[in-house]
Amino acid sequence: MVSARRATTRWVTRSMPFFLVGFVGFTSYVVVKRICLDFFLARQQKSGTATAFLVVYSLTLLLVLIAYLRVLFVIIYNPGVVPLGPNAVTQREENKKTRRMLGRQHDIEAKSANPQPDDNPDSPGLEAFYSKDVFVCNEDGRPKWCASCCNWKPDRAHHCSELERCCLKMDHFCPWVGGIVGEPSFKFFTQFAFYATLYWGVVVAATAFALQQSKSSGAGIDGFYIGALGLGCFFVIFTFTMTGTAVRYICMNLTNVDYLKSKVVVHCLAIRVPQGTRPGPNYGIITYPLPRQDDRAPSPNLSGQTVTENNTNSPRDLLASRSFAIVKSQIGENPWDLGPYRNWKSVMGNNIIDWLLPINPPPTYVSNESMYEMGPLYLELRRRYGLPDIEHESKPPG
């Protein structure tokens, strides 16, 4: 289980379920007791109207509860955080001891444990990147490095300042559902927001209709109706906005973090090319496994700096070596955009049952090509930069 770094955030997220229970308890009392049973059934003798509202209300409430418990369970037990590097684990343990001794006024946890990327060619986790055909990288061709977690950041992972951890496909930190919404929970969060919109819509419809009937029959206006209607109007707007935003991001294959950066971010990708490929006018070349520090030979990359090439690795490393061209997308281009329908299925599942019921986890993409399925931009970048095809790669002599 991963907790928020700040005590205030922890208490807010822990108290939110109690507020939600209070809101739902109040509206349940108003809709079920005061509107359906007391007003429609007892006073107006409209058993059909009372039954209809009770059935629809109970069904939407059940779906909301199931979806909420599902997303809460996933966020607590599988938040999708990236494991800490060994140095980060050691550093954070030391920080905790020092914090206890010096007091909370020393914000030592804000210091980076290891701001510089690991230069070890056998750095833990590095092979997971260059074993793919394409991955997100820095301009030097190495994967992105998280200075706080002391680890290589998987594609589409972002560092959450609240958790002090990198999270896969991080969308946002949501106190309403108790933590970080990311790859494992975004599907269930969307379903929860959708069913919450339906639930509060039923509350608004029931209270508004009861107010109209009360006015028509000459009965006094119940203040509880007004309270439930106001609460329902607020939450139906809030949850409808959340649902619409989540659906939009899913259809674009973006997260909230991705979208906020999409207008300014240029993606730097390492795309596999045949061994022996020389740097081009618009791209550099890097070869993995990386050579030892003393064995590195320079070659120009996109910014005119140096990119390492593998010159003196062992015969075993030469057989396993892979070369990558370092290229850039244009601003606003999304390498993972598969088209709205395929984007939707990549998050919500392959059939309507998965789309509607918060049961099965989101689909898992497993491929030797990339960590996440690449869209048409991947092939377009190969064409745009004139990269040679890896299908005709010749093997080095054994």
Among 321, 340, 335, 398, CA closest to 372: 335
Longest dimension (CA), the chain: 95
How many Å apart are CA 21 and CA 236, to the nearest integer?
Answer: 16
For residue 9 the two structure tokens come to 């955030």
pTM summary value: 0.87
**Coil, strand or helix: which one is 207?**
helix
Residues 345-361 have a mean pLDDT of 96
Query: To the nearest 10°, the Cα dihedral for 393, 268, 125, 85?
Result: 170
Residues 233-261 have a mean pLDDT of 96
Q: Is the pLDDT of residue 129 over 80?
A: yes
Q: What is the pLDDT of residues 203-244, one digit of tens each?
A: 999 999 999 998 887 777 889 999 999 999 999 999 999 999
Segment (H or E) for 284 = strand 284-288
Q: What is the pLDDT of residues 297-309, one digit of tens each?
A: 554 455 444 455 5
**Coil, strand or helix: which one is 127?**
helix
Residue 74 pLDDT? 96
Contact 252, 337 (CB under 8 A): yes
Q: If you count them, how many residues does the chain have?
A: 398
- Site of tokens 């990558």: 324
Half-sphere exposure of 324 (CA within 13 A, CB side): 31
Segment (H or E) for 188 = helix 186-217
How many Å apart are CA 380 and CA 383, to the nearest integer?
Answer: 5
Contact 163, 5 (CB under 8 A): yes
Q: What is the pLDDT of residues 134-169, one digit of tens each?
A: 999 999 999 999 999 999 999 999 999 888 999 999
How many Å apart are CA 226 and CA 230, to the nearest integer?
Answer: 6
